[in-house]
Amino acid sequence: MEYKNLGRSGLKVSRLCLGTMNFGSQTDEQESFRIMVRALELGINFFDTANVYGRPAPVGTTESIIGRWFAQDGGRREKVVLATKLFGQMDPWPNNARFSALGIRRECEASLKRMQTDYIDLYQMHHIVRELTWDEVWQGFEQLFASGKIVYNGSSNFAGWHIAQANEAAKRRNYLGLISEQSLYNLAERTVELEVIPACHHYGLGLIPWSPLSGGLLGGVLKGVDGGRRSSEAIKNRLANDLEIRPKLEVYELLCKEIEVKPAIVALAWLLHQPAVTAPIIGPRTVEQLDDAFVALSTTLSKETLDKLDEIFPGPGGAAPEAYAW
């Protein structure tokens, strides 16, 4: 396993991040345990979750599963770089969500209790909150940092401007600020190349892409859809409503066949070839899916293949502001 510094920090994380959103919803507890055990066996030390994960089970279910897994073996926690997120409303009572200084404190305490740990390695803001000042937000996180309950901060689904605002405000307070951004990024969704990736480069943030297969779209879906096998309704709707995506996927899947690499592995390997990317988040529902994804780490795409992928799924036109400034 190769490890990489997360942004400008000294924190070393594996080149694949284990996403746990399926734990408790699509994957039962025992299979979730098996996946986490296998991840450590493969050298994956970076686990990502969120306080709201678990639906349709009660929110918090996923963190609780991770906590029960930690409790089985006292050495597991220290092997894992544990990342979780806060934002969503956990219950209807006031002040139990978002980023007020009080809400941050309460949500952290609740996550620590569910995960049966004393600290969170990477505490991430799941979305931007526009109605609060950054001084209040950072004050809340600084108090957690000072008490040893969090080590680093990250963001998720932020725009480049939000990253700039957040880190400039942190700088004024002599606080480290954000070291990572978790964004939607894959071959079919490349908007972050305009402003988010340049902001990450400028402020020293590691990029952690979520949905590397575009909701399964890049996993070789056409054979399944056209052959009548089961496919998700979301994929079927996307193919039906996006008139441009099917021709792209046809060429993409043909290219994957020519180079004899599974489409899902090509999509993951492409992300691993992008300089800004620290670790794509994979969300296996089974151990077998985890083993399949691991192959991407040893898959090298030629320049010719990378050029063809850019032709099939062109980016938005380069990094902003240079993409449109004149």
Q: What percent of the chain has pLDDT over 90?
A: 82
Q: What CATH architecture does domain 3-215+262-301 belong to?
A: Alpha-Beta Barrel (3.20)
pLDDT score for 225: 54
Report the greatest alpha carbon distance in the chain.
59
At which residue do the structure tokens 């450590």 appear?
A: 40
* Spatial contact of 303 and 270, defined as CB atoms under 8 Å apart: no
Q: What is the pLDDT of residues 57-102, one digit of tens each?
A: 888 999 999 999 999 998 999 999 999 999 877 777 777 667 789 9
pLDDT score for 60: 93
Any idea what the Cα angle at residue 21 is, between residues 280 and 128, rounded to 5°? 75
Task: For residues 160-187, give the mean pLDDT.
Answer: 98
Q: What are the tokens at 37?
A: 């055990």
- The pLDDT-based confidence of 228 (bands split at 50, 70, 90) is very low
Residue 185 is among the residues annotated as catalytic for this protein: no
* Spatial contact of 155 and 182, defined as CB atoms under 8 Å apart: yes
Beta-ladder partners of 154: 124
pLDDT score for 96: 67
Burial of 2 per CB tally in 10 Å (0-12, 13-18, 19+): exposed
Candidate from 195-199, 244-248, 276-280, 318-322 with smallest mean pLDDT:
318-322
Any idea what the Cα angle at residue 13 is, between residues 280 and 45, rounded to 5°? 90
Closest to 77 (Cα-Cα) out of 120, 109, 111:
120
Residue 259 has pLDDT above 80, yes or no: yes
Q: What are the tokens at 259?
A: 């180079």
Q: Which one from 3, 53, 119, 203 is the annotated catalytic residue? A: 53
Domain boundaries defined on the chain: 3-215+262-301
- The pLDDT-based confidence of 229 (bands split at 50, 70, 90) is very low
- The pLDDT-based confidence of 241 (bands split at 50, 70, 90) is confident
